[in-house]
Amino acid sequence: MNRKSFLHKSLLSSSLLLVPELAHNTFSAAVGKISMKLAIRDRNQKNICATCGARYASAKTNTDTCPVCQDERQYVGNNGQVWLSYNEVAKGRSIRITQLQPDLYDLKTTPSFAIDQKAHLVISKSGNILWDCIPFLDEQTATYIHSIGGIKAIAISHPHYYSLMAEWANAFDCPIYLHEQDKQWIQDKSEHIRLWKGEKMELWDDIKIVHVAGHFAGSTVLHLPHHGTKSALLTGDSIYVARDRKHVSFMYSYPNLIPLPKQAIELIQKRVEPLAFDSIYGAFEGQVIPSGAKGAFNRSVARYLNIFNV
């Protein structure tokens, strides 16, 4: 019996099947007695960067550097390069799961770790999608996600969030869709990775990944045309929700405050212009524009382009 069918039968026979919490409710992934076993590779090897959360294919030593953090878009932490094992990351940590809408959850490592981004889980009738990824996964979270339909595919906006993608894909036996223009940033090879080319990739239920470039050459966004009664855009760092939640920003580096050139912002504008959306969900806490997001996007593009015109 394979893993999925075992879990399915266990859930059906145990009467512990979970009912998702109500919208906007935050909860821990407490799932009763059922446990989805994870086969995390090399749990005790120091192969995870403490600053960016990228996991590497092999163990690292104190003299090894992290190319993701050495890149001018990132930084090395104040304590220098630190490598951790999965077990060290896992100590005292769990994953907070919040149901934002009937078809949308967010997932966040807690206490916070590395870049501290969130991932989003999109619930859709033809299969759920994990948008972006986090540098941790535990059995409670995997079990809970299985109980609400699992994950049919993982799509990641850009390399800062590749993190523990290989383990997430193993746990859910699903593909990871990455844009091929960022393939040089893949640090942890996985048989589940599927590189794609071009301007967009259709998934199912009219959901598609759209290449916008900008922050990274292969940066993408996820378009949900049937989000509730309207539509939504899930963005990584190429379209970054500002603190006022009335605008978005377009930067090459956020921690090092390096702006994008005019041509990059015009390309983002061109790729997003055909998409209808009412809300935007960003990768960090509080980054939500709940309505009128297309207008916010257009105002923000105009504000940027005005700067280049003076």
Under the rule (CB under 5 A), what is the footprint of Zn ion?
49, 51-52, 66, 68-69, 160, 237
Give least dist CB 84 to Zn ion, A: 11
Q: Which is nearer to Zn ion, 167 or 237 (CB)?
A: 237
**β-bridge partners, 56:** none
Q: Which is nearer to Zn ion, 25 or 70 (CB)?
A: 70
Give least dist CB 296 to Zn ion, A: 20
Q: Name every residue whose Cβ is closer than 8 Å to that of residue 249 and which is 6 or more positions away in sequence.
A: 240, 241, 242, 300
- 130 vs 221: CA distance, rounded Å: 12
Q: Which is nearer to Zn ion, 117 or 140 (CB)?
A: 117
Give least dist CB 163 to Zn ion, A: 10
Give least dist CB 224 to Zn ion, A: 21
Residue 177 DSSP SS3: strand
CA 108 vs. chain centroid, Å, equals 10
Q: Which is nearer to Zn ion, 34 or 212 (CB)?
A: 212
Give least dist CB 115 to Zn ion, A: 7
Q: Which is nearer to Zn ion, 70 or 87 (CB)?
A: 70
Give least dist CB 251 to Zn ion, A: 9
- 256 vs 169: CA distance, rounded Å: 31
Q: Using alpha carbons, list the distances in angstroms from residue 242 to 5, 6, 164.
A: 44, 45, 27
Q: Using alpha carbons, list the distances in angstroms from residue 100 to 113, 128, 171, 224, 281.
A: 22, 15, 24, 14, 10
Q: Which is nearer to Zn ion, 68 or 210 (CB)?
A: 68
C-alpha dihedral, 114 to 139 to 26 to 246, nearest 10°: 40
Q: Which is nearer to Zn ion, 12 or 57 (CB)?
A: 57
- 54 vs 131: CA distance, rounded Å: 16
Name the nearest CA neighbour of 141 among 154, 151, 131, 127: 151
Give least dist CB 222 to Zn ion, A: 15
By CB neighbour count within 10 A (0-12 exposed, 13-18 middle, 19+ buried), where does 91 fall? Answer: exposed
